[in-house]
């Protein structure tokens, strides 16, 4: 490859990296904005008493949203929110699986998981039985 072609390829790669980094910054800002709106709504009681209670505890540094949703926070409000989250995620997953448009994508994803799991279980020297 000529130096000019290599420079062109490098310039394209650098532009792609810069674009991805900008998209990441934008996505991070959008997420932070959404989390701030959710926290404000929780503080104001617009999301219900459980969210208001949990947000008060988050603001005080007693817990975190990941702790609430994972079940590590065992306060009554956190337990109810974690259970609600589990039910909602289960319902969403069932709806996704029931959609015929998702069947092929699910099959491909499951096959990839199996392939990755087999690769992770392979001996360290890379040999296969």
58: how many CB neighbours lie within 10 A of its CB?
A: 19
Does one domain contain both 18 and 68? no
Residue 2 inside a domain? The answer is no
pTM assigned to the model? 0.64
Does one domain contain both 31 and 59? no
pLDDT at 128: 47
Does one domain contain both 28 and 76? no
Do residues 42 and 52 make contact, with C-beta atoms less than 8 angstroms apart?
yes
Do residues 6 and 13 make contact, with C-beta atoms less than 8 angstroms apart?
no
Residue 113 inside a domain? The answer is yes
Does one domain contain both 60 and 105? yes
59-115 pLDDT per residue, tens = 999 999 999 999 999 999 999 999 999 999 999 989 988 888 888 888 899 899 898
Does one domain contain both 16 and 36? yes
Residue 125 inside a domain? The answer is no
Structural domain range at position 17: 8-43
Number of domains in the chain: 2
Do residues 43 and 52 make contact, with C-beta atoms less than 8 angstroms apart?
yes
């Amino acid at each position: 490859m000529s130096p000019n072609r290599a420079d062109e390829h490098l310039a394209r790669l650098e532009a792609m990296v810069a674009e991805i980094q900008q998209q990441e910054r934008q996505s991070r800002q959008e997420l932070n904005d959404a989390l701030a709106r959710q926290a404000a709504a929780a503080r104001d009681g617009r999301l219900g008493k459980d969210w208001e209670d949990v947000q008060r505890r988050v603001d005080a540094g007693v817990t975190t949203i990941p702790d609430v949703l994972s079940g590590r926070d065992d306060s009554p409000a956190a337990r109810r929110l974690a259970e609600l989250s589990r039910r909602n995620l289960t319902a969403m997953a069932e709806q996704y699986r029931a959609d015929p448009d998702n069947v092929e994508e699910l099959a491909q994803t499951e096959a990839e998981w199996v392939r990755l799991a087999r690769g992770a279980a392979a001996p360290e020297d890379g040999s296969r039985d």
